[in-house]
Amino acid sequence: MLNSLINRPPLVDLAGLRTGKPRALYSVASAVRDACRTSGFFYIVNHGISSDLQQCVLQEAQKLFRISFRKKNLMDIKKSDYMRGYFGKGEDKSDGVNGDIKEGFDLGLDLPPTDPLVQARLPFYGPNIWPEKLPKFRETLSCYYDHMVKLGLNLLRAFSVSLGVAEPYFGQHFIKPIAQLRLLRYPPSAPGNVLRVGAGEHTDFGWITIVMQDQTDGLEIKNANGKWISVPGIRDSMVVNVGDLMQRWTNDEYPATMHRVINRADTFRHSVAFFMDPDYHTRVECLSSCTSTDRPARYAPIVVGNYMRERFKQTTTFLKQAASV
pLDDT (tens digit per residue) in 132-156: 889 999 999 999 999 999 999 999 9
pLDDT category of residue 46 using cuts at 50, 70 and 90: very high
Does the pTM surpass 0.75? The reply is: yes
The whole-number pLDDT of residue 321 equals 45
Q: Residue 107: how many CB atoms within 10 A of its CB?
A: 22
The whole-number pLDDT of residue 225 equals 87
Between the alpha carbon of residue 40 and those of residues 24, 247, 270, the distances in Å are: 22, 10, 22
pLDDT category of residue 96 using cuts at 50, 70 and 90: confident
pLDDT category of residue 162 using cuts at 50, 70 and 90: very high
pLDDT category of residue 97 using cuts at 50, 70 and 90: confident
The whole-number pLDDT of residue 171 equals 92
What fold does the segment set 11-324 form as a domain? Jelly Rolls (2.60.120)
End-to-end CA distance of the chain: 39
pLDDT category of residue 81 using cuts at 50, 70 and 90: confident
The whole-number pLDDT of residue 143 equals 98
106 and 130 Cβ atoms separated by less than 8 Å:
no
Q: Return the biggest CA–CA distance within the chain.
A: 60
The whole-number pLDDT of residue 320 equals 53
**Average pLDDT of span 194-198:** 76
| pLDDT for residue 4 is more than 60 | no
The whole-number pLDDT of residue 301 equals 97
The amino acid at residue 295 is R
Whole-angstrom Cα distance, residue 108 to residue 183? 11
Query: Minimum mean pLDDT among 84-88, 93-97, 114-118, 149-153: which range?
Result: 93-97
pLDDT category of residue 323 using cuts at 50, 70 and 90: very low
| pLDDT for residue 233 is more than 60 | yes
Give a three-class secondary structure readout of the chain.
CCCCCCCCCCEEECHHHHCCCHHHHHHHHHHHHHHHHHCCEEEEECCCCCHHHHHHHHHHHHHHHHCCHHHHHHCEHHHCCCCCEEECCCCECCCCCCCCCCEEEEECCECCCCCHHHHCCCCCCECCCCCCCCCCHHHHHHHHHHHHHHHHHHHHHHHHHHCCCCCCCHHHHCCCCEEEEEEEEECCCCHHHCCCEEEEEECCCCCEEEEEECCCCCEEEECCCCCEEECCCCCCCEEEEECHHHHHHCCCCCCCCCEEEECCCCCCEEEEEEEEECCCCCEECCCHHHCCCCCCCCCCCEEHHHHHHHHHHHHECCCCCHHHC
| pLDDT for residue 190 is more than 50 | yes
pLDDT mean across residues, the chain = 92
